[in-house]
């Protein structure tokens, strides 16, 4: 019986894969995903004979909203939805992707993604001007198609004044840590670098103690690695130095980041953020040496030497492949994304039992990483590749039979709540009422106001974003890029804000919202309903929805028509799907 | 760092049933670790953000710098600034002043997080650690199953500034209420009024889409239902409304209003078991005795606001018989320098600090622990461990008082390792300060 269901399931899946409008070619992504699915025995879940049925392909409406949000962080306008749905071109999905990849909005959204990764925020060392310079450097890099290897190397090895946009990446190394010996600073910068760009957050553990006895069930590589191994990597960051600028000009309070030509990582500390460092077997100074090959630097610029090796490290490509995959697909191939285990990722070298390969799809991860390397870490090409797969284009809807383990098999696309920035901007786009935020610099404010959350340089301070905007925004957990992580969790509070906040309700006025004004000018109630659904929910109303909407408009009569339109708009915002990336 | 996987795991555990399902409960020495104190049901945690100066308040050290109107007075061996904190001085019989607490970090962000999650936030092990309030919410059954509010409520918090539920299920997240103005729960009121809200809600219901759903949509439907139960809810509105006379008595401030609201939420059993009230900014590096700060003569000063609000809360809980079942703690993330003021006429960060504890049946009217005459060093730790009291000890104390097994460890899905409610409890590294009750 279950074999039959399995067979049926696979047939449905295969059909789903082929029935793509726009002719998405089955590429290696789909091959690997289907191969993995075939190996799984569908289990009975909770006593029900529930099989995991693959989802059908996404509808055009579902797809458009998803790809707009994934690539540009904003929902499409009603006009954009309408023309996409109306088009009969078989290549319309691919063309839409191409257009979005070239847009300014793409640079905004992905600058934000890299700003999350690089932890772009204000702190005492950076100041607001440093935060802004860091953000602008990233945005220019994304816009200018900088290879991700150069982007990462820039953050790790830049030198210069942290207020200068040209070297804004230097702010990555201005990590605020409680005071301790210089080795603590080297450790902190290295640990952040390893986690961010190699996906190897376990180095942070190793900087305190050997892996054995601590990581034996967490990481095969970790359990075999020692504190000395970690020090050899951290040593590359020993020579970094900061010089605060006190001249009373626009550089006041900036920091110049440079590297001296001397300095050693000594094992001679007894205080600070890490356990004492004492000589080991006669070794009192640790020379920088990269990885298992213990590759030593050839020049004095140790950070640059580290960066050069880092971008050639297989973990570098795997890390980006995994993180970018997570962002587009909603489920990573290796979780957590900063706990990659180098000894369990190569399918050609499987680990000894009881260890298993770490990735859910080990060959897929390797192929994605290889594609990044082959294309010189081209972001747009990589994202395009993912959007072309059938897996990406599956619907996220399910009829109750799907279970969460289906997520890891990619039998449907995983719907997610939109990020705070996207929700904020969706309300602004859909009503046409734009906020204007003043952006701090260290000395004052930038002359121009910002309208879009997708362009925020970093977590906004109380001077930049006041209640009620701040409260609405924060309810969706953007995180502070420091101790509070970004979260896609829901909450009762979010629902209260969607229903009652001034941020939303002040924008739902026909007199002041350009979008609602245009809607109100439509004579037919059916058109009003359709336009509102397309605007807020990126789809036309279903027949029951249309009937209910039209009835409510009719009941309002001529005098109360505008009010009824506002009510309908409010209802669209409060349908659960408004804050969803499908 | 984007923690998107977190929600994936939360969905995973939710599909397998209760909040407890899916976790491995590792046995602690459960039985004797539960409190033998019957009856502590709730906690009010007043977070004195910025770090209150203890030598001017809870561990008074008089010197040439002390303003006259502080009116330093001895109450049965407790030296207390009656002029600065007059209402609290009347409640000293119910108060224990812990004077031997030592914070771990002098940096705001780190210390604040440390205090609220009860462990070092900078270690990888502490990834996504829940707030103490969230642990409590996950452990305690709701007092009233139909209560509209969740177990963990935070008043006057800046959203995003306090740790959330971490890796625990979303039901244990804090319910944040920003500025309590005492005029109801604003966000639970629709700006266009009741009638229009009803019309809109009815329309929304008629637009509900039948057919295939996603777990996400189902989740948000539950949240929306919970939100709707709060909107124009008379009991909630009343609890968040503070009448003018009462507002004045509580100090006529957002902090005072929050204290009055906390009293209402607890005495009317509207759901919360752990109420945090954020109050600051006590980071007085300069001008510490200025009118807005620690000024006995100005009823609107920060200190007098604390006094009126917290003092009235303690008095009212006592009058209504609820004080014994409510543990009240007021503490900052660290202390401040003792002795003469700095050149900026303030006090800088210091690890040594004090805490005010009341209610929950503690034996009040005393100080626990003491410092030397300068106030800069501990003379007597004041409890059975004979060492400075740490935030982790206070965390253990709170769990123990509520009858929660403070030695418990659960699986931390983020790290794959164990999450101890109190770090190192298998080695008894930190323990409840039971001496508060003895």
pLDDT in tens, B179-204: 899 999 999 999 999 999 999 999 99
Q: How confident is the model at residue B2 (pLDDT cuts 50, 70, 90)?
A: very low
Query: Residue A41: what pLDDT?
Result: 53
Dump pLDDT digits (tens) for A275-315. 999 999 889 999 999 999 999 999 999 999 999 999 999 99
How far B318 CA sits from the closest chain A CA (Å)? Answer: 32
| B180 token code pair | 């309590």
CA angle, A363 then A412 then A534, to 5°: 130
pLDDT of B418 reads: 84
Query: Pick from A143, A139, A142, A138: which is nearest to A155 by CA?
Result: A138
Distance, in angstroms, between A109 CA and closest chain B CA?
Answer: 14
Burial of B71 (0-12, 13-18, 19+ CB in 10 A): middle
How many percent of chain A have pLDDT more than 70? 91
CA dihedral A215→A221→A223→A225, nearest 10 degrees, is -120
Q: What is the mean pLDDT of residues A536-541?
A: 97
Residue B362, SS3? coil
Residue of chain B with shortest Cα separation from A497: B187
pLDDT surpassing 70 at residue B20: no
Q: Tens digit of pLDDT for each residue in B121-153?
A: 877 677 789 999 999 999 997 777 788 899 999
CA angle A290/A292/A293 to nearest 5° reads: 70
In tens, the pLDDT along A312-329 reads: 999 999 999 999 999 999
> Could you read off the pLDDT of A247-285 as tens digits, one per residue?
989 999 999 999 998 899 999 999 888 899 999 988 999
In chain A, which residues have their Cβ closer than 8 Å to the Cβ of B206?
548, 552
Q: Are A470 and A478 in contact (CB under 8 A)?
A: no
How far is A507 from chain B, CA to nearest CA, in Å? 12
Q: Where are the domains of chain B?
A: 146-199+212-272+284-299+412-438
Which of A404, A488, A568 has its CB closest to that of B12? A404
Lowest mean pLDDT, pick from A330-339, B26-35, B98-107, B241-250:
B26-35
Residue B192 to residue A416, Cβ atoms within 8 A: no
Give the position of tokens 């101890």.
B420
A218 to B417: CB separation less than 8 angstroms, yes or no: yes
The yes-or-no verdict on residue A522 having pLDDT over 60 is: yes
**Among A332, A467, A571, whose Cβ lies nearest the Cβ of B5?**
A332
Residue A526 burial (CB count, 10 A): 15
The reported pLDDT for the residue numbered A53 is 63
Per the confidence metrics, is the pTM higher than 0.90? no
Of A399, A416, A500, the CB nearest to B190: A500
Whether B63 and B55 have beta carbons less than 8 Å apart is answered as no
pLDDT bracket for residue B97 (50, 70, 90): very high
| Paired sense of beta strands B25-26 and A580-581, if any | unpaired
Mark yes or no for CB contact B207/A545 under 8 Å.
yes
- Tell the residue number behind the tokens 């336009």, with chain if given: A531
Widest Cα–Cα separation across chain B:
76
Query: How close, in Å, is residue B240 to chain A by CA atoms?
Result: 16
Is residue A13 over pLDDT 80? Answer: no
Compute the average pLDDT of residues A544-559: 95
Asked if A491 lies within 8 A of B170 by C-beta distance, the reply is yes
Separation CA A223–CA A359 (nearest Å): 18
* Prior bond of B94 cis (ω within 30°): no
- Mean pLDDT along residues B350-370: 97
Nearest CA in chain A to B107: A178
Residue A462: its chain B contacts at CB < 8 A? 158
Instruction: Name which of A88-97, A260-269, A555-564, B27-36 the model is least confident about.
Output: B27-36
Contacts of A48 (CB under 8 A, 6+ apart): none
pLDDT of A214 reads 84
Q: Which of A65, A496, A532, A548 to mutate to test the interface with B (most CBs of B within 10 A)?
A: A496
How much is the pLDDT for B124? 67
Query: In this predicted model, what pLDDT tens digit does every residue of A38-90 receive, in sequence order?
Result: 766 555 444 443 445 678 899 999 999 999 999 999 999 999 999 999 999 99
The CA distance from A63 to A176, in Å, is 42
Mutate to test the interface with A, among B224, B229, B232 (most CBs of A within 10 A): B224
Q: By CA distance, what is A338's nearest residue in B?
A: B1
Q: Are B7 and B166 in contact (CB under 8 A)?
A: no
- Average pLDDT value for chain B: 88
For residue B132, what pLDDT is reported? 97
- pLDDT of B12 over the 70 cut: no
Average pLDDT, chain A: 91
- What mean pLDDT do residues A152-178 have? 94
Kindly state the percentage of chain B with pLDDT values over 90: 73
User: Which chain B residues contact residue A338 at CB under 8 A?
Assistant: 1
In this complex, the residue of A499, A567, A575 whose CB is nearest that of residue B199 is: A567
Q: At what angle do helices B302-319 and B254-267 cross, to 10 degrees?
A: 20
Q: Report CB contact under 8 Å: B204, A494.
A: no
Taking the CA of residue A497 and the nearest CA in chain B, the distance in Å comes to 7
- pLDDT at residue number A18: 33
Q: Which of B107, B123, B224 sits opposite A576 (nearest CB)?
A: B224
Q: Do A496 and B176 touch (CB under 8 A)?
A: no
Pair A77, A429: CB distance under 8 Å: yes
Neighbours of A99 (CB within 10 A): 12
A543 falls in which pLDDT band (50, 70, 90)? very high
Q: Is the pLDDT of residue B35 over 80?
A: no
Contacts of A327 in chain B (CB under 8 A): 2, 4
Nearest chain B residue to A120 by CA: give it. B1
Q: Which member of B160, B209, B210 has the closest CB to residue A474?
A: B160
Q: Cβ contacts of residue A510 below 8 Å, gap of 6+?
A: A516, A517, A520, A562, A565, A566
What is the CA B176 to chain-centroid distance, rounded?
A: 12
DSSP string, A502-540: HHHHTT--TTT-HHHHHHHT--SHHHHHHHHHHHHHSSP
Min CA distance, A332 vs chain B (Å)?
8
**Residues of B in Cβ contact (< 8 Å) with A204:** 124
First to last CA, chain B: 46
B7 vs B49: CA distance, rounded Å: 30
Instruction: Choose between B418 and A278: higher pLDDT.
Output: A278
Q: CA-nearest residue of chain A to B176?
A: A493
Residues of A whose CB is below 8 A from B1: 116-117, 119, 195, 338, 479, 481, 485-486
Closest residue, chain A, to B163 (C-alpha):
A484
What's the mean pLDDT in B91-113? 93
- Smallest Cβ–Cβ distance between A467 and the set B178, B200, B206 belongs to B178
Please state which of the ranges A126-140, A467-481, B12-26, B95-109 shows the lowest mean pLDDT.
B12-26
pLDDT of residue B37: 60
Chain A residues inside the 8 Å CB shell of B415: 218
Chain B residues in contact with A569 by the CB 8 A cut-off are none
Q: Of the given ranges (A39-43, B119-123, B154-158, B282-286), which has the lowest mean pLDDT?
A: A39-43
pLDDT of residue A217: 83
Write out the DSSP string of B177-238. E----SB--GGGS-TT-HHHHHHHHHHHHHTPPPS-B-HHHHHHHHHHHHHHHHTT-HHHHH
Say how many Å lie between the first and final Cα of chain A, rounded: 33
**How far apart, in Å, are the Cα atoms of B235 and each of A499, B240, B255, B265?**
20, 9, 21, 10
**pLDDT score of B8:** 31
Q: Count Cα atoms within 13 angstroms, Cβ side, for A5.
A: 14
The predicted structure's pLDDT at residue B16: 24
**Residue numbers in A near B176 (CB within 8 A):** 493
Set of chain A residues whose Cβ sits within 8 Å of the Cβ of B26? none
Of B1, B150, B207, the CB nearest to A549: B207
Is residue A331 within 8 Å of A364, Cβ to Cβ?
Answer: no
**Set of chain A residues whose Cβ sits within 8 Å of the Cβ of B106:** 178
For range B304-322, the mean pLDDT: 97
| Whether B360 contacts B398, CB under 8 Å | no
Q: Determine the Cα–Cα distance for residues A171 and A429; give it in Å rounded to an integer.
A: 32
How far apart CA A496 and CA B150 sit, in angstroms, is: 14
Nearest CA-CA distance, residue A421 and chain B, Å: 14
Structure tokens at A160: 């210069």
Q: Which of B109, B123, B206 is facing A483, going by the closest CB pair?
A: B109
Q: What is the ipTM of this complex?
A: 0.89
Cross-chain residue pair A571–B212, CB shorter than 8 Å: no
The string of pLDDT tens digits covering residues A194-224 is 999 999 999 999 999 999 988 888 899 999 9
Instruction: Quote the CA–CA distance of A549 and A528 in Å, as a whole number.
Output: 9
pLDDT at A12: 36
Rounded CA separation A84/A91 (Å): 11
Which residues of chain A neighbour B5 with C-beta distances below 8 Å?
A: 326, 331-332, 335-337
Q: According to the model, what pLDDT value does residue A9 have?
A: 37
d(CA B351, CA B342): 17
B155 or A26: which leads in pLDDT: B155
Q: Do A218 and B178 touch (CB under 8 A)?
A: no
């Amino acid at each position: 019986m279950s074999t039959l269901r399995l067979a049926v399931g696979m047939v449905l899946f295969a059909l789903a894969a082929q029935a793509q409008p726009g002719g998405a070619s089955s590429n290696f992504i789909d091959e690997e995903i289907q191969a993995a699915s075939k190996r799984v025995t569908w289990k009975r879940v909770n006593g029900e004979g529930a099989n995991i049925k693959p989802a059908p392909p996404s509808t055009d409406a579902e797809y458009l909203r998803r790809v707009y949000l994934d690539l540009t962080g904003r929902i499409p306008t009603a006009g954009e939805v309408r023309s996409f749905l109306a088009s009969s071109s078989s290549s319309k999905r691919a063309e839409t992707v191409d257009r979005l990849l070239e847009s300014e909005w793409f640079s905004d959204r992905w600058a934000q993604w890299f700003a999350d990764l690089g932890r772009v925020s204000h702190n005492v060392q950076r100041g607001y001007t440093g935060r802004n310079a860091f953000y602008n450097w990233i945005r220019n890099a994304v816009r200018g198609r900088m290879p991700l290897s150069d982007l990462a190397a820039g953050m790790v090895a830049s030198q210069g004044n942290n207020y200068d946009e040209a070297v804004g990446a230097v702010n990555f190394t201005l990590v605020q840590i409680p005071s301790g010996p210089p080795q603590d600073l080297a450790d902190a910068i290295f640990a952040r670098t390893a986690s961010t760009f190699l996906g190897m957050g376990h180095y942070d553990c190793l900087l305190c103690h050997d892996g054995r006895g601590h990581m034996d069930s967490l990481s095969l590589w970790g359990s075999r690695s020692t504190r000395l191994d970690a020090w050899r990597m951290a040593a590359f960051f020993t020579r970094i130095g900061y010089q605060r600028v006190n001249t009373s000009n626009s550089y006041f309070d900036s920091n110049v980041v440079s590297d001296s030509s001397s300095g050693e990582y000594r094992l001679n500390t007894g205080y600070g953020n890490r356990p004492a460092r004492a000589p080991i077997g006669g070794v009192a100074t640790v020379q920088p040496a990269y990885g298992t090959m213990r590759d030593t630097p050839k020049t004095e610029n140790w950070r640059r030497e580290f960066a050069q090796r880092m971008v050639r490290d297989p973990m570098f490509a795997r890390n980006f492949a995994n993180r970018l995959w997570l962002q587009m697909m909603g489920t990573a191939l290796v979780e957590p994304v900063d706990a990659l285990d180098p000894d369990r990722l190569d399918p050609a070298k499987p680990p000894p039992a009881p260890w298993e390969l770490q990735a859910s799809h080990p060959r897929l991860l390797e192929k994605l990483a290889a594609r990044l390397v082959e294309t010189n870490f081209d972001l747009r090409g990589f994202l395009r590749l993912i959007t072309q797969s059938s897996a990406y284009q599956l619907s996220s809807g399910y009829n109750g039979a799907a279970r969460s383990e289906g997520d890891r098999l990619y039998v449907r696309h995983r719907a997610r709540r939109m990020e705070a920035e996207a929700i904020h901007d969706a309300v602004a786009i859909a009503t046409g009422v734009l906020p204007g935020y003043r952006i701090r610099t260290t000395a004052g404010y930038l002359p121009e106001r910002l309208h879009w959350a997708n362009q925020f340089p970093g977590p906004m301070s109380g001077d930049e974003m006041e209640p009620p905007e701040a409260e609405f925004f924060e309810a969706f957990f953007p995180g502070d890029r420091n101790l509070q992580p970004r979260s896609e969790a829901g909450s009762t509070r979010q629902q209260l804000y969607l229903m009652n906040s001034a941020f939303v309700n002040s924008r739902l006025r026909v007199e002041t919202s350009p979008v609602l004004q245009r809607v109100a000018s439509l004579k037919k109630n059916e058109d009003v309903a359709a336009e509102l659904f397309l605007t807020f929910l990126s789809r036309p109303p279903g027949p029951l929805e249309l009937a209910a909407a039209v009835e409510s408009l009719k009941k309002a009569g001529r005098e109360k028509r505008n009010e009824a339109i506002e009510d309908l708009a409010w209802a669209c915002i409060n349908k659960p799907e408004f804050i969803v990336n499908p | 760092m984007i923690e998107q996987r977190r929600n994936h795991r939360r969905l995973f555990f939710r599909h397998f049933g209760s909040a407890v399902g899916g976790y491995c409960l590792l046995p602690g020495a459960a039985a004797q670790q539960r409190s033998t104190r019957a009856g502590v049901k709730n906690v009010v945690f007043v977070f004195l953000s910025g770090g209150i100066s203890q030598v001017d308040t809870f561990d008074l050290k008089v010197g040439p710098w002390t303003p006259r109107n502080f009116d330093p007075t001895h109450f049965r061996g407790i030296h207390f600034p009656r002029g600065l904190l007059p209402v609290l001085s009347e409640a000293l019989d119910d108060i224990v002043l812990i004077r031997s607490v030592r914070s771990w970090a002098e940096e705001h962000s780190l210390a604040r997080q440390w205090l609220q999650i009860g462990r070092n936030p900078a270690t990888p092990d502490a990834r996504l650690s829940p707030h103490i309030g969230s642990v409590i919410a996950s452990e305690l059954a709701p007092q009233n199953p139909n209560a509209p509010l969740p177990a963990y409520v935070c008043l006057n918090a800046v959203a995003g500034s306090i740790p959330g539920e971490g890796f625990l299920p979303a039901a244990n997240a804090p319910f944040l209420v920003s500025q309590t103005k005492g005029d109801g729960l604003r966000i639970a009121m629709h700006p266009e009024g009741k009638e229009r809200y009803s019309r809109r809600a009815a329309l929304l219901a008629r637009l509900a889409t039948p057919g295939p759903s996603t777990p996400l949509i189902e989740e948000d439907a539950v949240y929306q239902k919970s939100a709707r139960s709060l909107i124009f809810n008379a009991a909630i509105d009343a609890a968040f409304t503070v009448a003018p006379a009462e507002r004045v008595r509580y100090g006529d401030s957002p902090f005072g209003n929050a204290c009055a609201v906390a009293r209402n939420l607890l005495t009317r059993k509207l759901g919360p078991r752990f109420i945090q009230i954020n109050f600051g900014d006590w980071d007085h590096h300069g001008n510490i005795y200025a009118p807005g700060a620690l000024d006995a003569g100005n009823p609107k000063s920060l200190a007098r606001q604390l006094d009126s609000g917290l003092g009235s809360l303690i008095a009212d809980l006592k009058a209504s018989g609820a004080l014994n079942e409510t543990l009240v703690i007021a503490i900052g993330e660290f202390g401040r320098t003792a002795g003469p003021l700095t050149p900026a006429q303030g006090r800088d960060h210091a690890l040594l600090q004090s805490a005010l504890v009341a209610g929950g049946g503690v034996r009040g009217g005393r100080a626990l622990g003491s410092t030397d005459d300068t106030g800069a060093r501990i003379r007597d730790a004041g409890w059975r461990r004979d060492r400075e009291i740490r935030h982790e000890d206070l965390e253990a104390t709170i769990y123990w008082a509520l009858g929660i097994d403070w030695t418990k460890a659960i699986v931390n899905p983020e790290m794959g390792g164990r999450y101890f409610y109190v770090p190192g409890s298998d080695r008894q590294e930190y323990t409840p300060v039971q001496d508060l009750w003895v």
